[in-house]
């Protein structure tokens, strides 16, 4: 929520945001079988729901909601938007009294569709000409969206549920004002991530099949929804968590969504300035070196190797040898850009492929990667396999993939240094603002290793990959074995 009279969507069209665009356009592998639990967490479920790929978007045959929309058309974008708003409001009619201990959810007073490339109209005291955005205006109790560029652009990149994500977020702001959760003193970061959390709660309702007009799969469908949240993040290193227009990093926004999806809207109401500040990963660059990516070369590989040894020293694991030679490993599938051989306790790196993984995309290049952290996190994932091997754990299957993501998250959490001194980082290597967003982009792609087993098979659901990484980042190595147990 900006300090003006509207809450707006902010688009960060930076390299890692573009990486999220490219990374989630493909669907993950088909998910078959019956969910099987692993400890307290299932490798085949998404927050307790079966993980499955399937259609996402408008349900065929659903009767149009027919809500009145100023400036609305009968085109595909407005049809999707109108039915999405209808479903979100229907959800809140039921969830609002349960969440807030009574009261009724009052429908949004005014819905406005406009074309940012057209002549414009007055909404909330401003001209919409050239306004590529969607927003909630509390003064007029209005939700407005750009049908000309914003929503079709998001739909073309992330699929039909992208506009639904945006409008569920804006309706979340309306819920905040109705419930008295926010006022002019509320930090923007808190109100924005609470709205992300409410969005997650609504999407749980959709994933359960309870929405009248829209549907989403818990596999590729939710992958793309999470990709939208990454795309509309703040620019890494340029926006601090206390800035007036801060919305959050990709990591923080996706985390907030997952809280709502997993725990429901009541969890969202518990978000406070203290709790959001405690977990934020959004900081400005405060050291010049943070603005430069780590090169992909032998010296940097040694730095990362040293960091991994320092973080995992307490496990008592014999550190694997890391080599840039392509050594054979009988009976083991080679994975790129890094491969682990349990028989010899060796990680083989393909530096050329690692450089590709570290190269942010540009000009629609789908052969590039996500940034230096995403590349070295794939090396870390193979190191995590060595940790599991030493503990006698299996190295193949979805549970191994979740453990791997959790351990990579734990390593990441232990090399964070922030300017308000909440952590005591290990060793000398540090991750910079935006690095975790690169990790999210890689986790949501269909070819990464961060949440993959020794054979390179990823955990099917991107939601589960990100959740496992987040558990390790927040809680360290301990839950990686207990939550994801063979």
Q: How far apart are CA 177 and CA 137, in angstroms?
A: 10
Show the DSSP H helices in 326-477 as ranges: 351-358, 372-390, 398-413, 435-444, 462-475
Other beta carbons less than 10 A from residue 179's beta carbon? 14
**pLDDT band for position 422 (cuts 50, 70, 90):** low
- What angle is formed at CA 483 by the lines to CA 343 and CA 440, rounded to 5 degrees? 80
Which pLDDT value is given to residue 41?
A: 55
pLDDT confidence of 178, banded at 50, 70, 90? Answer: very high
Which secondary-structure segment (H or E) carries 298? Answer: helix 298-311
Query: What tens digit of pLDDT does each residue of 375-394 get?
Result: 999 999 999 999 999 999 99
pLDDT at 239 over 90: no
Strand 321-323: give its sheet, edge to edge. 321-323, 346-349, 338-341
Q: Residue 367 — pLDDT band, cuts 50, 70, 90?
A: low
Q: Bridge partners of 463?
A: none
| 378 φ, ψ (degrees, to nearest 5) | -70, -35
pLDDT of residue 43: 67
Res. 370 pLDDT band, cuts 50 70 90? confident
User: Going by DSSP bridges, is the β-strand pair 142-146/110-114 parallel, antiparallel, or unpaired?
Assistant: parallel
Arithmetic mean of pLDDT, 427-442: 86
CA dist., res. 424 & res. 65, Å (int): 53
Mean pLDDT of the chain: 85
pLDDT of residue 233: 54
pLDDT at 30: 30
Residue 436, pLDDT > 90, answer no
- Quick one: average pLDDT of 340-357? 96
Give phi and psi for 145, each to the nearest 5. -145, 150
What lies within 8 Å, CB to CB, of 156 at 6+ separation is none
Better-scored residue on pLDDT, 217 or 272: 217
pLDDT at 108: 98
Of 44 and 420, which is predicted with more confidence? 44
Q: Where are the domains of the chain?
A: 7-279, 289-482
pLDDT exceeds cutoff 60 at 6: no
Residue reference for tokens 């819920």 = 175
Give the model confidence (pLDDT) of 52-109 as tens digits.
999 999 999 999 999 999 999 999 999 999 999 999 999 999 999 999 999 999 999 9
Q: Give the residue carrying structure tokens 């401003």.
A: 126
Report the phi/psi class of residue 77: left, alpha or beta, with left for phi > 0 and alpha for psi in -120 to 50.
Answer: alpha
Q: Is the pLDDT of residue 231 over 70?
A: yes
For helices 150-158 and 220-231, give the axis angle rounded to 10 degrees.
Answer: 140
Mind giving me the DSSP string for 282-336? --B--SGGGGSPPP-SHHHHHHHHHHHHHHTGGGT--PPEEESS----TT----S
pLDDT computed for residue 10 by the predictor: 36
Over residues 114-158, the pLDDT tens digits come to: 999 998 899 999 999 999 999 999 999 999 999 999 999 999 999
Contact of 483 with 40, CB cutoff 8 Å: yes
Percent of the chain past pLDDT 90, that is, above it, reads: 65
Assign 363 a pLDDT band (cuts: 50, 70, 90).
very low
- What does the pLDDT read at residue 258? 96
Task: For 257, list phi and psi in degrees, rounded to 5.
Answer: -60, -45
Distance, in Å, from the CA atom of 389 to the CA atom of 345, rounded to the nearest integer, reads 9
Please report which helix (H) or strand (E) contains residue 111, including its range.
strand 110-114
Mean pLDDT of 333-361: 93
Per-residue confidence band for 23, with pLDDT thresholds at 50, 70 and 90:
very low
Structure tokens of 55? 């259609």
pLDDT digits 0-9 by tens, 275-289: 877 776 655 334 444
- Annotate 178-218 with DSSP letters as a single string: HHT---TTS-HHHHHHHHHHHHHHHHHHHHTT--SSEE--T
């Amino acid at each position: 929520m900006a300090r003006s009279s509207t809450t707006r969507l902010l688009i960060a069209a930076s390299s890692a945001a573009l990486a999220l665009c490219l990374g989630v356009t493909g669907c993950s592998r088909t998910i078959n079988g019956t969910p099987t639990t692993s400890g307290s967490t299932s490798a085949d479920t998404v927050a307790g729901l079966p993980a499955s790929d399937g259609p996402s978007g408008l349900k065929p045959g659903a009767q149009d909601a027919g809500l009145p929309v100023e400036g609305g058309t009968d085109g595909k974008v407005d049809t999707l938007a109108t039915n999405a708003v209808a479903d979100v409001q229907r959800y809140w009619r039921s969830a609002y009294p349960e969440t807030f201990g009574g009261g009724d959810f009052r429908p949004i007073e005014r819905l406005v569709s406009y074309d940012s490339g057209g002549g414009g109209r007055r909404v909330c005291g401003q001209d919409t000409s050239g306004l590529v955005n969607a927003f909630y205006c509390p003064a007029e109790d209005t939700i407005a969206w750009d049908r000309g560029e914003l929503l079709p652009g998001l739909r073309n990149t992330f699929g039909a549920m992208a506009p639904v994500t945006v409008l569920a977020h804006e309706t979340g702001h309306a819920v905040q004002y109705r419930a008295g959760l926010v006022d002019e003193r509320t930090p923007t970061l808190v109100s924005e991530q609470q709205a992300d959390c409410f969005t997650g709660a609504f999407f749980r309702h959709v994933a359960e099949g309870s929405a009248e007009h829209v549907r989403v799969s818990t596999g590729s469908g939710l992958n793309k929804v999470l990709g939208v949240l990454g795309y509309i993040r703040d620019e890494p290193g340029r926006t601090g968590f206390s800035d007036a227009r801060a919305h959050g990093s990709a990591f923080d926004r996706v985390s907030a969504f997952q809280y709502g999806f997993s725990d429901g809207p009541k969890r969202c109401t518990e978000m406070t300035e203290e709790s959001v500040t405690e977990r934020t990963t959004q900081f400005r660059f405060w050291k010049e070196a943070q603005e430069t990516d780590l090169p992909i070369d032998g010296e940097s590989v040694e730095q990362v190797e040293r960091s991994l040894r320092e973080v995992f020293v307490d496990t008592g694991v014999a550190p694997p040898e890391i080599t840039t030679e392509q050594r054979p490993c009988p009976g083991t599938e080679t994975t790129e850009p890094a491969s682990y051989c349990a028989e010899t306790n060796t990680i083989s790196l393909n530096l050329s492929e690692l450089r590709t993984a570290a190269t942010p995309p540009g000009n629609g290049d789908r052969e590039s990667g996500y940034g230096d952290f995403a590349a070295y996190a794939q090396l870390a994932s193979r190191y995590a396999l060595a940790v599991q091997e030493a503990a006698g754990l299996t190295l193949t299957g979805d549970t191994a993939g979740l453990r791997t993501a959790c351990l990579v998250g734990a390593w990441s959490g232990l090399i964070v240094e922030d300017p308000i001194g909440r952590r005591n980082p290990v060793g000398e290597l540090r991750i910079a603002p935006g690095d975790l967003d690169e990790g999210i982009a890689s986790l949501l792609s269909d070819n990464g290793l961060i949440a993959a087993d020794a054979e390179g098979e990823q955990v099917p659901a991107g939601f589960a990959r990100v959740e496992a990484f987040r558990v390790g980042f927040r809680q360290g190595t301990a839950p990686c074995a207990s939550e994801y147990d063979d």
